[in-house]
Structure 1
Amino acid sequence: MGKLRIALIGGLSILVVGAAVVGVRTATFAPANVADGRDVKLAAAPAYDLDAAVRHLSEAAQIRTISNQDPAANDVAEWDRLHAWLASTYPAVHGAMRRTILPNRTLVYHWPGSDASLAPVILMAHQDVVPVTPGTEGDWKYPAFAGTIADGAVWGRGTVDDKGSLVGLFEALDALAKSGFQPKRGIYLVSGHDEEAGGSGAIAAAAKLKAAGVKAIYTLDEGSIVLTDTPVIDGPAIMIGIAEKGYGTLKVTASAPGGHSSMPPAETGVTTLAKAVLAIAGKPFPLEFRGPGASMIEALAAKKGGATRMAVANRWLFGRSLKNRLGAAPTTAAAFHTTIAPTMLEGSPKENVLPQSASALINYRIAPWNSSADVMARAKAAVGSTKVDLAWVKPPREPSRVSSTSSQGWKWIAAAARADAPDAVLTPTLVVAGTDSRSMEPVSEDVYRFMPMHFSLKESAMIHGTNEHMAIDSFKRMIDFYARLIATSTG
């Protein structure tokens, strides 16, 4: 009985100590260092004509700067049309800023600052849009390239991604120029022509800026939004992207003798390929609670409180359960590991012919703590002795670096965003898709990815989808945000 009593006392002591540790960690838990920007004295946005701005977005949406999968199918005259439209619509901008049109039709504008010792800022929005999926044209409430103004919104492909940002920036800059604003800090506006098809324009623009010795204090591009029904808190969150995933597509090829399908061998090229693809997909990268995704969850958990706060504050105890919850939905899981997505297959040109070569494409979005070398090593380990060749379709893009959440650039952006969403949680996040801003890393101290649109999760599905539209109230928020940010950070 004495030994049992001692064991019980020992067990209870461990529980008491454990409970105390959990309680203290929960009570003292705070997210990683994220400056709130409340110490920034924010400049006011100048007056502008919202009705005219809405008409301008409608006009821009009617210009079909469509980036097709095959660049030869692009109508380059539409980019020239957009450039001419910008010049005629925003004469004040073109009077204040020097415009350079690169040979590939990427635009670089520069408004020199009065103090050359101050690092400039870089603002970005791309010109091109994705095509409308063939066969879905009739599903649109209003024609995809009509720029219809109805139901409190401007409807059309690109109104959100990314002509809303492009026109919003021009409206803000135009209003500032008309008001007599003179920046102390230089302003660059970079508008890539092919963000939706690889971003070669932004690469060229970055090379030009680097050759000119530009080193910006921050770069701001598209990427994330103000999400009105954010998971965990079921409320609004200002989500500023501080990094983006890398990108690579792996080609898996199985070679075989081929022949007639009436006399198949025990294993064909297709079955070999299938084994390899299943092996690679069956060895996913583990979820890791780290990086910008972890910073986001910490900020949301601090707001939510209760069991959520306790779990995040005590990952030593609840780590497995937390990872299971994060991995339950693909949209959430993507922020915590490198994803593996088999997307395309190719085999025989005819149903009764055994292929001499069968191949698959596997798309990877690489987490900030991994590299393309990690991806290749994992794929090779997964296929083992299976007779396939592995090769990158083209050189992969490594993950971006992670930008600061305490820098002056972050504070300016946070303050400008908070002005229109004072009760929203401010959080960094990982952008799981790609943006042109990654190319600005050599010429910018920090790179941020944020558009001040207020969207629900359901509404965000229209980006690249059917019935894309920009609500007029969101568009007004964008113009005000850009104007406040530019005036505050460069004035």
Structure 2
Amino acid sequence: MDYKLKDNKNIDDFVQRLSQALQIKTISYENMDMVDKSEFLKFHTFIEKSFPNVHRVLVKETINDFGILFKWEGTETNQDSILLMAHMDVVPVEKETENEWCFEPFSGNISDGYVWGRGALDMKSQLMGILEAVEGLIINGFKPRKTIYLAFGHDEEVGGYLGNAQMASYLQSKGIKLSMVLDEGGFIIKNAIAGMSCLAALIGIAEKGMTTLELFAESNGGHSSMPPNSTAIGRLAKSIYILEKKQFKANINSILKEFFKAIAPKMPLLKRIIFSNIWLFKPLIIRIFTKLPKTNALVRTTTAFTMIEGGFKMNVLPQQAKAVANFRVMPGETIEDVKKRVEKVIKKLDITVKVNDVSFNPSKISHIASNEYKVMCKTIVSVFPESVAAPYLTVGSTDSRYYQKIANQIFRFCPIEIESEDLERVHGVNERISIEGYKKMIEFFYLLIESL
């Protein structure tokens, strides 16, 4: 049987299967008691029926009941392996926003050239796209040179501790070495930077670390009718103000320099001059980047206060007030660096600073000179000829971090062409993927696997 990617019948089948995948409510929650396990088992059954050749040829292992790890044995077993990642879980839909959706969030509705539903972008489309590509390659008689693993987590949206963290430990225990890991990350974006004449395919070659600090202010408490000059809440509020005002230093690191180098030829003359001469225009670039949240995150460790508590009655001074701040840590800095700086900045306010357990340092930086990166770029240009592949820093967290001990290169990339405003649909309202975009995603994974 000849499996043709661009055959209309196959494309219709691709779309229908994605629609069905989006209808299965594989929602993850911090509280595991809220997870509907039957939906995850339903998803397992669904992909088993949808991809019979994948299940016939690849070896499947189930990790912690719901995580899936496939192994596709290569012809050259002395080579390091490849790992392609995705996750089957999705975030919940906020009840207050349900009426804002054009279609029911888990309907998988096919309309106006799009497939609509939670998980369309993040990231059942990538999971299904990988499986469609592998199914097609098997039908066409392809056998990979390197062994390929497919890792599909079930709890990425809540940290990945039971899914990919365990899969990484399992592979490490087997002595598996990976030449490349590919996980979710940057999209192919129109208007990534104002004036750019083509699409920017953003390949994450590193990701920021994360730490959450808890700030505590204490006092003797008492009645509000006789307050002291300094209260716990007052000192805590002042510390928040100071830390938001005195942000971490902004800088242009090696990743951003390579990004500018890649996109500069596609920019208008003035911006081409600026991005090609960072040594001269660095202060200007930093001033521009720090104005917007999405670019500010690329040049500094960011500070975000996310929780605050203190007091239980309107006329009683609390003995303790607490604030929680989340920091996304730049490569080159560490969790300890963040804690020390925070303590130094608010030293005079008598605030206790504690590091939350859910913290991890930035990833190592993967090499753009590697063969794997070059293959990625070549595949991108082949499928998306109007794009330029550019390395960038992933500011969010991905499950790929769990594989750092066994992987030479880790890349974070979603081969989906979207508008900048579509980024708000991820975890938001009216999540969708275009049929054309999904078709190209499958083509990307098909050609990438052939080339590795």
Tell me the TM-score normalised to structure 2 length.
0.95
Tell me if structure 1 keeps the 8 A contact 2:381–2:388. Answer: no
Q: Does 1:475 align with 2:401?
A: no
Tell me if structure 1 keeps the 8 A contact 2:5–2:11. Answer: no
Q: Does 1:190 align with 2:175?
A: no
Task: Identify the residue that residue 34 of structure 1 maps to in structure 2.
Answer: none
Q: Which moved more, 1:383-392 or 1:308-317?
A: 308-317
Q: How is 1:439-454 mapped onto 2 (pairs within 5 angstroms)?
A: 439-454=402-417
Q: Does 1:394 align with 2:394?
A: no
State how far apart, in whole Å, the 2-side matches of 1:314 and 1:419 are: 30
State how far apart, in whole Å, the 1-side matches of 2:279 and 2:131 are: 49
Distance change in 2, residues 1:106/1:211 (3 Å): same
CA shift, 1:268, in A, is 1.8
State how far apart, in whole Å, the 2-side matches of 1:83 and 1:349 are: 47
- 1:331 is aligned, of 286, 294, 309, to 294
- 1:74 is aligned, of 26, 35, 40, to 35
Task: Identify the residue that residue 217 of structure 1 maps to in structure 2.
Answer: 179
Task: Identify the residue that residue 360 of structure 1 maps to in structure 2.
Answer: 323
Letter of the structure 1 residue corresponding to residue 140 of structure 2: S
Q: How is 1:310-325 mapped onto 2 (pairs within 5 angstroms)?
A: 310-325=273-288
Q: How is 1:290-301 mapped onto 2 (pairs within 5 angstroms)?
A: 290-301=253-264
Letter of the structure 2 residue corresponding to residue 227 of structure 1: I
State how far apart, in whole Å, the 2-side matches of 1:90 and 1:194 are: 22
Tell me if structure 2 keeps the 8 A contact 1:46–1:179. Answer: no
Q: Does 1:85 align with 2:85?
A: no
Identical pairs, percent: 35
Tell me if structure 1 keeps the 8 A contact 2:189–2:199. Answer: yes
Task: Identify the residue that residue 407 of structure 1 maps to in structure 2.
Answer: 370
CA shift, 1:184, in A, is 2.1
SS in 2 for 1:385: helix
Q: Does 1:379 align with 2:342?
A: yes
State how far apart, in whole Å, the 2-side matches of 1:326 and 1:423 are: 25
Task: Identify the residue that residue 455 of structure 1 maps to in structure 2.
Answer: 418
Q: Deviations over 1:135-173 (max 9, x none)?
A: 111111101111111111111111110101011111111
- 1:203 is aligned, of 157, 165, 168, to 165
Stretches of structure 1 that go unaligned for 5 or more consecutive residues are: 1-43
State how far apart, in whole Å, the 1-side matches of 2:108 and 2:301 are: 38
Q: Deviations over 1:293-320 (max 9, x none)?
A: 2321232223225222322333343221
SS in 2 for 1:222: strand
Letter of the structure 2 residue corresponding to residue 103 of structure 1: N
Tell me if structure 2 keeps the 8 A contact 1:291–1:368. Answer: no
Task: Identify the residue that residue 309 of structure 2 maps to in structure 1.
Answer: 346
State how far apart, in whole Å, the 2-side matches of 1:281 and 1:430 are: 23
Distance change in 2, residues 1:242/1:348 (3 Å): same
SS in 2 for 1:136: helix
Letter of the structure 1 residue corresponding to residue 123 of structure 2: D
Larger gyration radius, structure 1 or structure 2: 1
Show structure 1 runs of 4+ deviating over 6 A. Answer: none
Tell me the TM-score normalised to structure 1 length.
0.88
Letter of the structure 1 residue corresponding to residue 143 of structure 2: Q
Letter of the structure 1 residue corresponding to residue 260 of structure 2: I
SS in 2 for 1:117: coil
CA shift, 1:104, in A, is 5.0
Q: Which moved more, 1:304-313 or 1:457-466?
A: 304-313
- 2:24 is aligned, of 47, 60, 63, to 63
Letter of the structure 1 residue corresponding to residue 338 of structure 2: V
SS in 1 for 2:150: strand
Task: Identify the residue that residue 13 of structure 2 maps to in structure 1.
Answer: 52
Tell me if structure 2 keeps the 8 A contact 1:232–1:301. Answer: no
- 1:436 is aligned, of 394, 399, 404, to 399
SS in 2 for 1:52: helix
